[in-house]
Chains A and B, each alone.
Chain A
Amino acid sequence: MAFKRLITSKKIPAFFAAFMLLGTNLLMAQTATAADPAKPGVDWLNVSYYVLLFLLLAVSIAIAGKILKVYDLTQQIQGKKGINWNNVMGVVCILFLIVGGIGAWWEFAVQGAMSLPEAASKHGVKIDDMFWTTTVITFIVFVITQVLLFTFLFRYRHSEKRRAYFLPHNNTIEKVWTIIPAIVLTVLVIFGFFTWQEVENTTNTKGDINIDITGHQFAWYLRYPGPDGILGKKNFRLIGGSNALGIDYTDKNSFDDLSADTLVLPVNKSIRINIFAQDVIHSVYMPHFRVQQNAVPGLPTFFKFTPTITTAEMQRKVEDPKFEYLLYCNKICGGSHYNMQKVVRVVTQGEYNQWIAKQKPYLTYQLRQELKLAAAADQKKSISQNTLALNN
């Protein structure tokens, strides 16, 4: 075999060793000269410690392997049987089951307690019910199947004296374990389907607060309706200059639209967030409210929910005075995807009214200046609309 000759050839390792010696010397010399004294250089000593540690580990494993082999051979010479690896593996399987079971339990107890914050929205509670039902069912199945798997391995490990039980099929039991999962899953599907319909199939009702949220690389813009309660039209072609959202000021509803830094929401009010993206896909994610919806350029989406716990209340509940609800991006969108957050503050209606009164309209003085120039240019095109706007 040509390959084997290649491998057993002594020239190649010799050449490789020479290369390693001379080549690395050369390389190191270069890095040494190129290194900037201000920069921390590579701590080769530290690196070589880890490499040595690994080699030491590999060598000790090799030695342990050899010892086992020698032991096995001496046993054979004495006419005894060597180590019965089937028994060893059977015991390791049962050990794994026990230790793994304890480990899984510990994870559920410690990390389980760290996860799934309390739902702070109306539909969130329903989703959590669904979650816990599913968790209980799957956990039972998980425990039963894993226990059966590993105890079977231990119980039926190889023995020369025994022969396996010839059991090619049994239609009754097949039917049983097709139908039972089917029934359980049907229940989950029906439960889930109605929860989903309830969360998503929301029609507009009077008293909804409409808020626009627009994602771009790498921040969110917010837009609240003014006193008229209606958000004006937008057009992506108008984006530029001070008009970062591309608000269409030929629509009179736009004039009183407000900008805001924080997503402030009144508690127990139905909120409809209208979701837009300017450049790539983003995702509005607010885990406390169990809200997530992608922001897709060219495809406006929305999500309706009702927050039920104010920030102040939640701060008391989690015993953290600095606690804030957060909104962050959950669809890969570029280099700073990991830091695209917005603080969400749920407040009482009174606090909300005070806050909204202080917010400034999008139509700043600077923007007015810019638009006047633009308005002159297309006055001819849309005189009627402009007069309508000016009359207001």
Chain B
Amino acid sequence: MSTAAVHDHGVVHHEEGHEHHPKATFLNTYVFSQDHKMIAKQFLITGITMAVIAMLLSVLFRIQLAYPDKSFPLLETLLGRFAPEGRLDPEFYLSLVTIHGTIMVFFVLTAGLSGTFSNLLIPLQVGSRDMASPFVNMLSYWFFFTACVIMISSFFVQKGPAGAGWTVYPPLSALPTAMKGSGLGMTLWLVSMVCFVGSSLMGGINYVSTVLNMRTKGMDLWKMPLTIWAFFLTAVLGVLSFPVLVAGVVLLIFDRSFGTSFYLSDIVVLGKVMPYEGGSPILFQHLFWFLGHPEVYIVIMPAMGISSEVMSVNSRKPIFGYHAMVYSLIGITVLSFIVWGHHMFITGMNPFLGGVFMITTLIIAVPSAVKTFNWLATLWRGNIRFTPAMLFAIGMVSFFISGGLTGIFLGNAALDINLHDTYFVVAHFHLVMGSAAIFGMLAGVYHWFPKMFRRMMDEKLGYLHFWLTFIGAYLVFFPMHFMGVDGVPRRYYAFTEFASMQRWLSVNMFITWAAIMSACAQVAFLYNFIHSIFWGKPTVQNPWGANTLEWTAPIEHMHGNWPGEIPTVYRWPYDYSKPGAEEDFIPQTTPFSQTMSSNLPHDFEDNPAGLEELKKWTSTHKANEAVK
């Protein structure tokens, strides 16, 4: 069995000493590392870099939306031909929107989030020496890195990057004559995406096999922390849905480059009749959203897992309804495959199908509601410690509620007629998957920073970062709902052409300044992050008083994670503030025999011998009390 083989291999390594290891060089330690902890850091730093780039792009187009008639000569200095006379080119504006979306959804919130925390936490929390295949894991990072480089390189081609929106609907993306961005920029986008999906698949297969095969002794599925459940189900979702995107993208490449007509029919561009016949643009939308909808859950589920863990640790309270939390994650995973049509209510899809997708979409709101109530119940009568990680986890819950509720509008086909593709949609998904997921990610960074870099981040700067970002995000996205309900469309270069939209200009200016403030607040994070890596306060073994396995691994990183044997797990990870226990947490590695005073009958549901022991202990204990 692979489990046994890998374990033995790891142990043997350590017993025989270090002569087996190749000499640690800069190249194999920092660059082509196969150690999951280093790969996690690589994913994190690449993800943060991409996030900063995408954030700067958003500031650029926000400036355009706030001051559509003003010229900024600085922009021309920075962007050259993309901003002639100091004003953004309309097609470059669309490119900015497109690349902002693509980077944030795929490179930051998929690879940056799952890549970082699945890699770091899966082996450490399930108790294994490394991933199932460290080499494939390394390849996964390098495919991701290649995808990033290709995506950014599209800014340096003559006609600029892809500009058909992050959903790249053909025919706009398929016809190079339809817009500048559909030229070489689009080709680079597609190539980058294929690399990205390769990376995501290699990562996903690794996560699934590690969770299924390489758990330590005693770690059955119902003893796994919610983080691991979330990463596991996310990986399953990714493995099943990303290949469909590749299929869609490959057919688009065929249409663009080899003259096929999968998505194209009856087209006349610039007065020229095209030979395409028999294809359907709707087909691409089906293929895209078959990934695209699970994708939003790929983005939010790791954030949910991280927040659950962080909130439980810092409320000093078990997560409320652990089983319900797992079942709702499973429910979301299964349902997310049959709701993609709610992105297509008005695209020309059969209206009957729209009705069916509306029903499945509103069903998926039930597990989401259960999760929210369980988080609230976790906080109830807790003993809440406000670490920056805790604040970000709370922010995630707040955004998830605010953004999730507007999903009930958009999931309703009748209401979607008027709200589709307006700013209401922008507000909805930026809150529920954008802000919520990035807050989950930041919660993870603050919480597991000591595990990754062996030092602590500064708490006060963390507080400042949280409040500025939290308030800023609400100021940016809350007013957008009202614009959307008024019928202001997204992806408009300027609102100057319509009298009905000009009255929203002051709101747009307000949003832009809120966005600039939030962007500046990220400097506090970046400074804190980089400074703490090198000069932060050294961490102690278990800085948060957490139960999970990763805090039993030595602070100093080593290949194989634990010296000697991997610890055995005896209990679930959420025994916080258990009545009768000495401390307010009992690590998973503590056997029940050492905590007789705090054991409950519930702990021995599938262990009659243990229950018998408990009864014996309780009766003798009671007898002793009586004697006293």
Chain A residues packing against B (C-beta within 8 Å): 2-4, 7, 31, 39-43, 47, 54, 57-58, 61, 65, 68, 85-86, 89-90, 92, 96, 100, 103-104, 107, 111-112, 114-117, 126-127, 130-131, 134-135, 137-138, 141-142, 145-146, 148-149, 152-153, 156-159, 162-170, 173-174, 177-178, 181-182, 185, 188-189, 192-193, 195-197, 199-201, 216-217, 236-237, 239-240, 246, 278-281, 283, 285, 287-288, 290-294, 296-299, 301, 322, 326, 328-339, 341
B62 to chain A, nearest CB (A): 15
Closest to A325 in B: B500
| Contacts known (A2-B26, A153-B394); A127 close to B417, Cβ less than 8 A | yes
Q: Are B415 and A127 in contact (CB under 8 A)?
A: yes
Q: Chain A CB within 10 Å — which of B94, B281, B487 has the most?
A: B487
Specify which of A31, A177, A332 is in contact with B491 (CB 8 Å cutoff).
A332
B58 to chain A, nearest CB (A): 17
Would you list 27 pairs from A and B whose C-beta atoms are within 8 A, ordered by A residue?
A39-B85, A54-B520, A114-B504, A115-B484, A141-B401, A156-B381, A164-B577, A165-B577, A167-B317, A168-B318, A169-B324, A174-B370, A178-B324, A181-B366, A181-B370, A185-B408, A193-B355, A200-B351, A280-B171, A283-B421, A285-B487, A294-B347, A299-B348, A331-B169, A332-B491, A334-B172, A335-B179
Specify which of B365, B384, B574 is in contact with A168 (CB 8 Å cutoff).
B574
Q: Are B417 and A292 in contact (CB under 8 A)?
A: yes
* Chain A residues within an 8 Å CB radius of B391: 89
Q: Are B384 and A279 in contact (CB under 8 A)?
A: no
CA A68 – CA B401 in complex, angstroms? 34
* Chain B residues within an 8 Å CB radius of A290: 417-418
Closest to A162 in B: B383
Closest to A283 in B: B421
* Chain B residues within an 8 Å CB radius of A3: 30, 534
CA A155 – CA B55 in complex, angstroms? 36
| Contacts known (A115-B486, A164-B382); A338 close to B497, Cβ less than 8 A | yes
Q: Are B485 and A107 in contact (CB under 8 A)?
A: no
Q: Tell whether B385 is near chain A: CB-to-CB under 8 Å.
A: yes
Q: Are B418 and A298 in contact (CB under 8 A)?
A: no
Q: Are B386 and A178 in contact (CB under 8 A)?
A: no
Closest to A180 in B: B369
Closest to A126 in B: B414
Q: Are B282 and A299 in contact (CB under 8 A)?
A: yes
Q: Are A192 and B265 in contact (CB under 8 A)?
A: no
10 residue pairs, one from A and one from B, having the closest CB atoms: A287-B487, A298-B265, A200-B351, A89-B386, A115-B486, A165-B381, A111-B482, A164-B577, A195-B414, A338-B492
CA A99 – CA B470 in complex, angstroms? 13
CA A96 – CA B475 in complex, angstroms? 13
CA A1 – CA B280 in complex, angstroms? 57
List which B246-289 residues lie within 8 A (CB) of chain A.
264-271, 273, 279-282
* Chain A residues within an 8 Å CB radius of B266: 236, 278, 297-298
Contact count band on B: 35 or more
Q: Are B409 and A117 in contact (CB under 8 A)?
A: no
Specify which of B90, B94, B382, B463 is in contact with A89 (CB 8 Å cutoff).
B463
Q: Are A40 and B460 in contact (CB under 8 A)?
A: no
Q: Tell whether B73 is near chain A: CB-to-CB under 8 Å.
A: yes
CA A291 – CA B409 in complex, angstroms? 16
List which B376-417 residues lie within 8 A (CB) of chain A.
376-377, 379-386, 391, 394, 397-398, 401-402, 405-406, 408-409, 412-415, 417
Closest to A236 in B: B266
Chain B residues packing against A (C-beta within 8 Å): 26, 30, 71, 73-74, 76-77, 85-86, 89-91, 94, 164-165, 169, 171-172, 175, 178-180, 264-271, 273, 279-282, 315-318, 320-324, 346-348, 351, 354-355, 358-359, 362-363, 365-366, 369-370, 372-374, 376-377, 379-386, 391, 394, 397-398, 401-402, 405-406, 408-409, 412-415, 417-418, 420-422, 459-461, 463-464, 467, 470-471, 474, 478-479, 482-487, 489, 491-495, 497-500, 503-504, 507, 520, 523-524, 534, 574, 576-579, 584, 602
* Chain B residues within an 8 Å CB radius of A141: 401, 405
Q: Are B268 and A239 in contact (CB under 8 A)?
A: yes
Q: Are B355 and A322 in contact (CB under 8 A)?
A: no
| Contacts known (A142-B402, A168-B574, A330-B420); A114 close to B503, Cβ less than 8 A | yes
* Chain A residues within an 8 Å CB radius of B322: 168-169
* Chain B residues within an 8 Å CB radius of A237: 273
CA A177 – CA B324 in complex, angstroms? 11
CA A246 – CA B274 in complex, angstroms? 13
B35 to chain A, nearest CB (A): 15
Q: Are B479 and A159 in contact (CB under 8 A)?
A: no
* Chain A residues within an 8 Å CB radius of B320: 167-170
CA A208 – CA B313 in complex, angstroms? 65
CA A330 – CA B346 in complex, angstroms? 11
A292 to chain B, nearest CB (A): 5
Q: Are A173 and B497 in contact (CB under 8 A)?
A: no
CA A68 – CA B459 in complex, angstroms? 12
Q: Are B91 and A163 in contact (CB under 8 A)?
A: no
* Chain B residues within an 8 Å CB radius of A279: 171, 175, 178, 267-270
Q: Are A297 and B498 in contact (CB under 8 A)?
A: no
Specify which of A104, A146, A169, A337 is in contact with B401 (CB 8 Å cutoff).
A146
B513 to chain A, nearest CB (A): 12
Q: Are A334 and B384 in contact (CB under 8 A)?
A: no
Q: Are B405 and A332 in contact (CB under 8 A)?
A: no
B585 to chain A, nearest CB (A): 10
Specify which of B324, B401, B495 is in contact with A142 (CB 8 Å cutoff).
B401
* Chain B residues within an 8 Å CB radius of A165: 317, 380-382, 577
CA A65 – CA B462 in complex, angstroms? 12
B163 to chain A, nearest CB (A): 8
